[in-house]
Structure 1
Amino acid sequence: MADTTDHSTDDTYSADDTYSADESASPTTRKASWRHIGPGIVVAATGVGAGDLVATLIAGSKFGYTLMWAAIVGCIVKISLAEATGRWHLATGRTMFDGWRSLGGWTSVYFGIYVVVWGFIYGATAMSSTALPLVALFPDTPGGLKTFAIAAGLIGLALVWFNRYARFEKLMTVLIGVKFLIVVYVAVRVAPDLPAAFAGLAPVLPDGSFFYTLGLIGGVGGTITLAAYGYWINSKGWTDATWMKMMRLDNRVAYATTGVFVVAMLIIGAELLHASNIALTSGDKGLLELGGVLEDRFGVFTAKLFLIGFCATSFSALVGVWHGVSLLFADFAERIQRTRQGIDEDAVAEVAEGRRERSWPFRAYMLWLTFPPMGLLWLDEPFGLVIAYGVLGAAFMPFLALTLVWLLNSERTPREWRNGTVSNSMLALAGLLFLILAVRQIVDLPWSDFF
């Protein structure tokens, strides 16, 4: 945690740099120090899962370096969303869910249904994704995928259940370090065409790539974990606007790291697959197929190293969700319960002091993420559940972007920290982008199977 005695006026942040506000109203801020970065590492480790890697990999395999710009834009969009989430927590001293509740009871109804259905499906997906590379590394293990998937869920549960935020952050730093080094190593190994990569920064849309490009922009670097970012900065001990400059540095580091992952995977797809006209299966299994291509090209060591990186990527997303989304759910459950009891609470202080991590809703949601989804390892996902998951999931990112616009332009936010032109433009762009993707995703759901 930063030295709280460092309140130098030489380091005061002027809100006029980005937001429409009077400079004299801007609070004195703590110095932004690289050694205090942490929540950004957590959000980067959680937000970039196997699905993000394979989507970027396939983009490179289909279009070469042409969509490099889209991957970069995706990171910029997510920087804006995460910054807005963090700014709400620090400027108002209220949590994201508290902000949603102030917009009306409909937000609690939507979030309550969403987080239950999403958690059930995601739990099985995260466990299976972590298990896939382990099965490839240890093919003779009895039970195969189910054994490794159950083990991943139980280990993730134990790591979050028995540790507090500080240790959780250190674990996530190790996991992101492993996958960062491995993915960059493989990208360097395939010998990128640097002139073509720089040319890919020009915004060009190849034929038939419109919705694919929007999906690439929207899929880079997390969904619900963006809402969890505010809870992680509170868990770090950043609880008021004096931490704003530190939060912004932390957030930029997070998405710079995410950008490196995305660019590295796009390079691998462009050089290893596009040039050889090799097509991969969509979904996590595409990464297993890439392991086979790497083995043919560079040998067993590189292939196995990549599988370890694949496992670290999936497991870091699993552990991050077990912690971050459980914090969101705990805030949701505790706020509703205490409102009914007429109890006023300081939710930000409870998160910062670690009381949310010891609460029964936090642990109950972790159990929900772990045990009920194990049943899906034996059963195909019911069509009705797939439809509900698809509709609710598609609606979340427009919900987040548009409610942030609402909250950060209203009197709920102190004037000096309200949105300016840049932030409003980025959040509006994100909301429109995710709304288009939501409609597309809902239309593409298997409605005929359901009816």
Structure 2
Amino acid sequence: MMKKFFKNIGPGPLVAAAFIGPGTVTVCTLAGVNFGYALLWAMVLSVFATMVLQEMAARLGIVSQKGLSEVIREEIKNPITRGLAIILILSAIVVGNAAYEAGNISGGALGIQTIFGNPKIAIGNSDFALLPIIIGAIAFVILYIGNYKVLEKTLVSLVILMSLAFLTTAIITKPNLLEIFKGMVVPKISEKSVLTIIGLIGTTVVPYNLFLHASLAKTKWREQSDLHHARKDTIIAVVLGGIVSMCIIVSASAIPSQNISNAADLAKGLEPLFGINAKYFLSIGLFAAGITSAITAPLAAAYVASGCLGWKTNLKSARFRAVWIFILGLGVLFSSMGFKSIEIIKFAQIANGLLLPVIAGFLLWIVNKSSVLGTYKNSKLQNILGILILIITIFLGVKGILSVFKVFQ
């Protein structure tokens, strides 16, 4: 029974691994510290929206046997519109993932630093942090092997490790289960919490995951009869990812101090209250979150670039490898030097804010086309849910872009 279950595990855990990165951990930490259990409902909404969109992406990949960026290139007939769409996608996903990769690697290193400190090596007149280089090397080896099964098993193992670590941390804090349930089902919005709510939804409903899921689903499954496996895989993985995020919020709610800005601070804050084990579990969770995102972000960028530019999406092709090596290399370099390019991150956030509603809208349009999906096109219920999510993504996109301009003025 268990063997059959693991055999049918698909790209779902990889999608969960991609959206639970250091950024998600930080936003969830701040949500818990500042608002307690009050914003758990936002995570429930995020999980639901993610399930709906990721199911559409996986279905598109399996039925069409093409990645989302490939379908975009083929289905948009107007050359000017197609060119603009490709530029926006490449800007947001490839440049965006390059900007965020340093954060993914730094987040993983931060988890280990909490336990082992921050060793450095001197190269010439410069000091480089050693842990980001080690994390980058691990990610490089896993990606360079170029075997989907190896990639899948590695990331599934890391997601299980991350889930257990954050779940254990939440249990250690002895949370109030009735208050947790109330926070999940009773929406509360205040002027102070709006940006945090946008952050929680924005770090869960991720544009690059739609591209990643479609490409990985067609690699895992080639028969339309496998659609039910893909649907189950998506639901289980996204719900698991949502539970992990909620566990971080619950853990952070246990801290009375307001002087917490990231998960490393949270790990240190939990130690005097709940013992050194809480610190260790949280640090392991942060490490797993960082390294999984450090693997999936370059992978997604390579799939997107290959689809947009008409290359073969082969894990072992030279062009495919060149894209992810470039992004991983930049991430390792910037992370080990402690370099943070505010302008690049600002550009990536604006591009992603624009991209999410555009891609959600395009996905909704394409999964209603009989010429692409035949009898597997969207049902009325799926369309109603999709339109509601599209409205939310437009709101998020506008708010996110405005908040970026406000912060960086």
**TM-score where L is the length of structure 1:** 0.81
Q: Which has the larger radius of gyration?
A: 1
Match of 1:67 among 26, 36, 39: 39
Q: Match of 2:250, as an amino acid?
A: I
1: CA distance between counterparts of 2:59 and 2:36? Answer: 37
Partner of 2:215: 231
- 1:228-377 → structure 2 map (5 Å cutoff): 228-236=212-220, 238-270=221-253, 272-273=254-255, 276=256, 278-282=257-261, 286-333=262-309, 335=310, 356-377=314-335
Partner of 1:220: 204
2: CA distance between counterparts of 1:167 and 1:440? Answer: 39
Deviations 1:22-65 (A, max 9, x none): xxxxxxxxxx9564113112211222112212212322222222
Structure 1 residues 410 and 280, CA, compared in 2 at 3 Å: closer, same or farther?
A: farther
1: CA distance between counterparts of 2:330 and 2:218? Answer: 30
Confirm or deny: 8 A CA contact 1:119 1:369 kept in the other structure.
yes
Gaps of 5+ in 2: 77-81, 122-126
1: CA distance between counterparts of 2:50 and 2:387? Answer: 12
Partner of 1:107: 85
Partner of 2:170: 187
Q: Which has the higher helix share?
A: 2
Structure 1 residues 420 and 211, CA, compared in 2 at 3 Å: closer, same or farther?
A: farther
User: Which range is displaced more, 57-66 or 397-406?
Assistant: 57-66
CA RMSD of aligned residues (A): 2.5
Confirm or deny: 8 A CA contact 1:70 1:213 kept in the other structure.
yes
Deviations 1:216-242 (A, max 9, x none): 233226441232011112222x12322
1: CA distance between counterparts of 2:67 and 2:334? Answer: 33
Confirm or deny: 8 A CA contact 1:120 1:369 kept in the other structure.
yes
Structure 1 residue 80, shift from structure 2 partner: 0.6
Match of 2:114 among 103, 115, 136: 136
1:198 equivalent to 2:181? Answer yes
Partner of 1:21: none
2: CA distance between counterparts of 1:235 and 1:302? Answer: 39
1: CA distance between counterparts of 2:231 and 2:134? Answer: 36
Structure 1 residue 376, shift from structure 2 partner: 3.0
Q: Match of 1:51, as an amino acid?
A: G
Confirm or deny: 8 A CA contact 1:292 1:303 kept in the other structure.
yes
Confirm or deny: 8 A CA contact 2:139 2:294 kept in the other structure.
yes
Confirm or deny: 8 A CA contact 2:93 2:352 kept in the other structure.
no
1: CA distance between counterparts of 2:308 and 2:324? Answer: 14
Structure 1 residue 116, shift from structure 2 partner: 3.3
Structure 1 residues 416 and 199, CA, compared in 2 at 3 Å: closer, same or farther?
A: same
Confirm or deny: 8 A CA contact 1:47 1:223 kept in the other structure.
no
1: CA distance between counterparts of 2:201 and 2:343? Answer: 28
2: CA distance between counterparts of 1:415 and 1:379? Answer: 50
Structure 1 residue 449, shift from structure 2 partner: 6.1
Match of 2:67 among 72, 95, 104: 95
Partner of 1:126: 104
2: CA distance between counterparts of 1:382 and 1:62? Answer: 27
Confirm or deny: 8 A CA contact 1:225 1:325 kept in the other structure.
no
2: CA distance between counterparts of 1:186 and 1:379? Answer: 28
- 1:379-390 → structure 2 map (5 Å cutoff): 380-390=339-349
SS at structure 2 position matched to 1:37: coil
2: CA distance between counterparts of 1:123 and 1:290? Answer: 22
Confirm or deny: 8 A CA contact 2:99 2:331 kept in the other structure.
yes
- 1:73-84 → structure 2 map (5 Å cutoff): 73-84=45-56
Structure 1 residues 66 and 319, CA, compared in 2 at 3 Å: closer, same or farther?
A: same
Structure 1 residues 449 and 44, CA, compared in 2 at 3 Å: closer, same or farther?
A: closer
Q: Match of 2:233, as an amino acid?
A: D
User: Which range is displaced more, 113-122 or 243-252?
Assistant: 113-122
1: CA distance between counterparts of 2:199 and 2:120? Answer: 38
**TM-score where L is the length of structure 2:** 0.88
Match of 1:172 among 135, 155, 164: 155
2: CA distance between counterparts of 1:40 and 1:429? Answer: 23
Confirm or deny: 8 A CA contact 1:49 1:314 kept in the other structure.
yes
Structure 1 residues 89 and 146, CA, compared in 2 at 3 Å: closer, same or farther?
A: same
Confirm or deny: 8 A CA contact 2:96 2:345 kept in the other structure.
no
Match of 1:396 among 355, 358, 381: 355
Structure 1 residue 374, shift from structure 2 partner: 4.2
Structure 1 residue 396, shift from structure 2 partner: 2.2
Q: Comparing both chains, which one has the higher relative contact order based on Cα–Cα distances under 8 Å and sequence gaps of 6 or more?
A: 2
Structure 1 residues 362 and 295, CA, compared in 2 at 3 Å: closer, same or farther?
A: same
Confirm or deny: 8 A CA contact 2:206 2:356 kept in the other structure.
no
2: CA distance between counterparts of 1:258 and 1:53? Answer: 11
Structure 1 residues 127 and 83, CA, compared in 2 at 3 Å: closer, same or farther?
A: same
Structure 1 residues 79 and 140, CA, compared in 2 at 3 Å: closer, same or farther?
A: closer
SS at structure 1 position matched to 2:369: coil
Between the aligned residues of both structures, percent identity stands at 20
2: CA distance between counterparts of 1:289 and 1:364? Answer: 36
